[in-house]
Structures are given as structure tokens and as C-alpha cells.
Chain A
Amino acid sequence: MSNLTMMTEEEKLEQFTQRIEAGDKIEADDWMPEEYRMALIKLISMHGISEIMGALPEKEWVPKAPSLHRKLGIMAKVQDEMGHGQLLLRVAEDLLKPYGKNRGDLMQDLFNGDLKFHNVFHMDTRTWGDAGLIGWLVDGAAIITQTNMLGASYGPYARALQRICAEEVFHAQHGEAIIMALAEGTEEQRAMIQDALNRWWDALLMFFGPASKDTTGSSKQDVTIKYKIRTKTNEQLRQAFFDKYVPRILSLGLTIPDPTMHYDEENKEWVYQQPDWSEFKKIIKNQGPRSQARLNLRRTSYENNAWVRDALAATVS
């Protein structure tokens, strides 16, 4: 094998391309094109920070969970999400090393709006039904997008996803158990989940991103597919979500809040009403219903704890 230091950029790129074409895993210290590194940083830091910001809407329901058993369940789940965030940020930190950046920089990027978090975590949670629905359908949607990347060409991300997906399956079961209990419960309990579904439906469709970059002006799906980080398009993933969950939603006696929704047998796809993508654009610019409140939570805690970081730095050095 030729020595990497003797190779031209073109040769390195060619070797890199051959490796990912052959299904080889790229590791943190391997040479990689700038475009690949940037795509990974964007994807993984967004995924990581979304896990962390995603703990906040559910955290609102941790103390309120309506039994000791449910309290324990949701506490375990939220703790897992934090753990995923930590795991992913460490993967992102390795990729950031050549730029001399670290986790502190990612936090600043979050606060100034450069680092986005998933649209679903900008939403309001109003009832216990929302807590169940997040576990069931938001985690269900996450499983679909994440299993699509289990074979990612970047080894550290693929390995982190193995563990994350295994835990997400438990989360979806936890959410489903909450929803089933409500679905089999009183009139009020059933109304609670229908109301949650009505309010979350658009956000769930948006979760997979627009079908093409024409909708919002940019999309990273093309570059991530090119580099074998993912295999399916946003629309294929959304269709897979419908395949799995539409029958389950209906079997619980719930109504999908889109009267146009149906399966087109001929084209083998679900036909549905597009969500308001201009709303999506606003949300990912941190102008969603709870975007600023949740960012403020993290900002305040980051400022309040500055003395702790200083104290730890002083004892380490």
C-alpha cells in the first residue's frame, strides 16, 4: 500500500472512495475529504444535541408521570437520551479535533443558533398523552431514521447507533405501553391521545425532512447518501414510517388528522397532505413554540454552572 504522506489529494480521495465503496469503515484518525468530515460533524452534532434538547420536553413530565411505575419508566428513558447525547458528542468531538474545537464550542453554536436541534423538540407538551406519544411515535420515527444509518461508512457513528437503536426500541415500547393504557382507559384518557396525535402529526411528518431541497433551500440528504452514511431518502423514510405506524394508529381506534391520507395501491405509496414547510423553516431557526424557552433553560444552567467548570478545571491542572 502506498504511503499516505506521499500521495496527492486526488489519490487519497480515490483510495477513500474505494474504501467506502467496498463497505470499509472509516475511523476517526483516517484521512477523509473535508466535505465528508463537515457532513459528519453537522449530522452527528445535530443528532447529539437533539438527544440532549429532546430530554427537556420529556423531563417536563418526569415528576408528573401518573404512577410510581410510570415515573421509573420515564426517568430511565430520559436518562438513556442523555447518555445518547453524551456518546454522540464524543464522536463529534473527535471529528472536530483538526479544527481545534471542542464541546464548549458546540454549546456556543447551539446558543447562537448555528447548531440546530430536531424540529420535534421545539414543540409544546401539554398533557401526559404527549409524553406517551413522544415515546411511541417520535422515538418510533427516530428508530426508522437511525436504523437507516446503522451501516454508515463512518465506523464510530455506526457503532454508537448500534447501542442507541437497541435502547430506542425499549423507548418505543415504553411509549406504546403508555398509549395502550390510555387507549384502553376512560373517555378522557382516549381523548387525551387523540388530541396529542392531532397536535403532533405535522411535526412527525416534518421529522423526516423535506422530500427535496427545493422545499427549504437546502438538504444534506444528497451528500450523506453519496458518502454511504445513509441509504434511503427522506421521503422513503417517511413512507416507511407510514407503513409501520398508520395501521397501528388506526387499530387503537384513533383517527389520523389528515382526511386525504390513503394508500395508493398502484404506486405503492401513501398519499398525504404536506405539512406547512414554511413552519418547519421557522422552527429550525429556533422560532418554534418552545425553542427559546428550552434554549434559555440550557443557557441559564450553562451560565449558573460556570463556577463549577472553573472549579473542575482548577483541580485537574
Chain B
Amino acid sequence: MSSTENVLSPEYKEAVTNLLFQLADDDFLISYRGSEWLGLAPHIEEDVASSSISQDTMGHAAMYYTLLEEVGAGKADDLAHLRPAQERKNSILAERVNGEGYYMETPQYDWAYAVVRNFFYSQAKKVKVDSLRQSSYQPLAETAVKVNMELYYHLLHWKTWFVQLLSSTDEAKQKMNDAIDLVMKDFGDVFSYGNDKAAIESNNLIASEEELKDRWKANMAPIFESLGLAVPAIPEAPAKNGRNGEHTEDLTTALSTLSEVYRLDPVAAW
């Protein structure tokens, strides 16, 4: 990999690095939110399935952090555990809490929110990953092929829940619609590349923000139509843009849990 490192121009390398941080941090955080649900899902079969998805997703984050290590951004474990909130580039949606309460006490988590968030996120990840397979950065294109194989099942899983709960009781429909509103409030930076938009797009690392948004909407349209619903609009200007290091308190608390043990001694072997 060192040969690739040598031929990358500083400007190209910076664009790759920034995009990789967005991808890695997104999966790292959403996987954490998934793992907080463990043991609390609506039934045991779902606990088995969704913990498998969280595990896959942490695997994807690990692959992206490893690519970062290979471009010389630092040690993968340090990048995952030690960067403070203001250096993180994940979307706000990925960092949001599952609901009120700490995962070890008696959390009031909302399954409708989990389903909608994971479904919308997985569909967004799918259009990104499909585009990344043609990325000008070859190691990223190769990783995208691997991620895509598992992502197919994640998307199918969340889509099944989404359609089922929106086709059921009035209570379920109400909760799902409330969750859609909540998720869409945080959807403004999901397709954003933040301040790195020009560099990321001009280097053909991935398709443009606008193209990806259109593909997401096109993929969602038939599903919403079948449920008699309109595809919700993606907010134009996000209140906070996670891609630029703007975050909520939810991220700060998440990071302190995620790095609690690692921080005891980051140079020790664990």
C-alpha cells in the first residue's frame, strides 16, 4: 500500500482522508447505537439479527479506519477511540441517542425510531457504496465491494420492518410517522461532504451530493408509494453539519463510553 501512498498528491490525499473519516465515523457511531439495543429488541430473533447487523457495521468502520491508517492518518484504534467530538465527521443522525436513558439502566428506547433510522441510513449507505465501487481511489472501491455484500441484507431487513409496521395497527403507523419526522430533521448532513465537497467531488472519489440524494429518493419512492405515503423532503441546510465537526452532546457522551477502557492506556496492548 505504501506505493499508493507515494503517488497520491497532497490535495488528493486530503480529500480521500476526509471522505474516509465521514464513512468510518458514520458506521462507528451507528453501530454503537445498534449495540446499545442488544437484549432490548422486540423479540429474541430480532436481537440475533440486529446484533449481527451492528457487528457487520462495526466491521465496515474498522475497514475504513484501516484505510485511513494506510494513508498515514494514524493508528486505526487511535482514530476510532481518541479523536474528540469536534474532529469527528459523522452525520448527526448516526450519533443521536436511541431514546431516553442509559443503556445499562432502564432505557426508554423507541423501536419505531430504530427501524426508520436504520432503514433510511442503510439506503443512504447503499447509494454511497454503489457509487464508491467506481471510486478513483482503488482501495476504497475494493472495500465498497465487500461492504456491499453485507449491506444488501441489512437493507432488506430494515425495509421489511419498515413496511410491516407501516401496514399494521394505527398505533404502529402513528409511531412510525412520528419517527419519520424525527429522522428527517437530522437528515440534512447525511449526503453532505461539508467543507470538503469540492475536493471530494472533483477528484471523482464518489458521486456528487445532489446525485446521491436523487438516487436515495428514487429508491425510496416505490416503497413509500406502496404505503400511500410521499417521500419526505431532505432538509436543504442542516442546523448542524456533522461533516464539519458540528455535533450534539449525544456524541460527546457516546465517545466517552466507547473509549473508556482504551483511554486507560492507549499505548498498552489490549
- Say whether A315 contacts B164, CB under 8 Å: yes
- Say whether B111 contacts A62, CB under 8 Å: no
Q: How far is the CA of A301 from the CA of B32 in the complex (A)?
A: 18
Is chain B's binding surface mostly helix, strand, loop or mixed? helix
- Say whether B164 contacts A68, CB under 8 Å: no
Please provide the chain A residues from 174 to 196 with a CB less than 8 Å away from any CB of chain B in the complex. Answer: 178, 181-182, 184-186, 188-189
Q: Which residues of B contact A64 (CB under 8 A)?
A: 257-258, 260-261
Contact among B55, B106, B257 with A297 in the assembled complex (CB-CB below 8 Å):
B106
Q: Which residues of B contact A82 (CB under 8 A)?
A: 38-39, 44, 47-48, 51
Q: Which residues of A contact B171 (CB under 8 A)?
A: 307, 310-311
Give chain B nearest CB distance to A314 CB in angstroms: 5
Q: Which residues of B contact A301 (CB under 8 A)?
A: 39-41, 109
**What is the total number of residues of chain B having a CB less than 8 Å from a CB of chain A?**
53
Q: Which residues of A contact B268 (CB under 8 A)?
A: 185-186, 189
Interface, chain B (partner A; CB < 8 A): 32, 35-36, 38-45, 47-48, 51-52, 54-55, 58-59, 61-62, 65, 76-77, 80-81, 103-111, 164-165, 167-169, 171-172, 175, 257-258, 260-262, 264-265, 268-270
Contact among A60, A178, A188, A312 with B264 in the assembled complex (CB-CB below 8 Å):
A188
- Say whether A185 contacts B80, CB under 8 Å: no
Q: How far is the CA of A86 from the CA of B270 in the complex (A)?
A: 31
Contact among B32, B168, B265 with A188 in the assembled complex (CB-CB below 8 Å):
B265
Q: A86-B44, A296-B106, A311-B168 are in contact. Are A66 and B262 (CB under 8 A)?
A: yes
- Say whether B261 contacts A65, CB under 8 Å: yes
**What is the total number of residues of chain A having a CB less than 8 Å from a CB of chain B?**
50
- Say whether B257 contacts A85, CB under 8 Å: no
Q: How far is the CA of A293 from the CA of B101 in the complex (A)?
A: 14
Q: A72-B58, A75-B55, A300-B106 are in contact. Are A311 and B172 (CB under 8 A)?
A: yes
Q: Using a Cβ cutoff of 8 Å, how many contacts connect chains A and B? A: 147
Q: Does A283 contact B (CB under 8 A)?
A: no
Chain A 52-76 near chain B by CB (<8 Å), digits 1 or 0:
1001100110111111111110011
Task: With A68-B77, A185-B269, A314-B169 given, name 12 new contacts (CB 8 A).
Answer: A56-B39, A59-B103, A68-B58, A79-B51, A85-B44, A128-B261, A178-B270, A296-B105, A296-B106, A307-B169, A310-B171, A311-B165
Q: A55-B39, A189-B268 are in contact. Are A307 and B175 (CB under 8 A)?
A: yes
Q: Which residues of A contact B108 (CB under 8 A)?
A: 300, 304
Q: Which residues of A contact B80 (CB under 8 A)?
A: 68
Q: How far is the CA of A304 from the CA of B59 in the complex (A)?
A: 30
- Say whether A307 contacts B39, CB under 8 Å: no
Q: Which residues of A contact B261 (CB under 8 A)?
A: 64-66, 128
Q: Does A83 contact B (CB under 8 A)?
A: yes
Q: Which residues of A contact B59 (CB under 8 A)?
A: 72
Give chain B nearest CB distance to A289 CB in angstroms: 13
Q: Which residues of A contact B43 (CB under 8 A)?
A: 305, 309
Q: Which residues of B contact A298 (CB under 8 A)?
A: 39-40
Q: Does A89 contact B (CB under 8 A)?
A: yes
Chain A residue at minimum C-beta to C-beta distance from B38: A59
Q: Which residues of A contact B32 (CB under 8 A)?
A: 63
Q: A311-B171, A311-B172 are in contact. Are A186 and B265 (CB under 8 A)?
A: yes
- Say whether A86 contacts B48, CB under 8 Å: yes
Q: Does A133 contact B (CB under 8 A)?
A: no
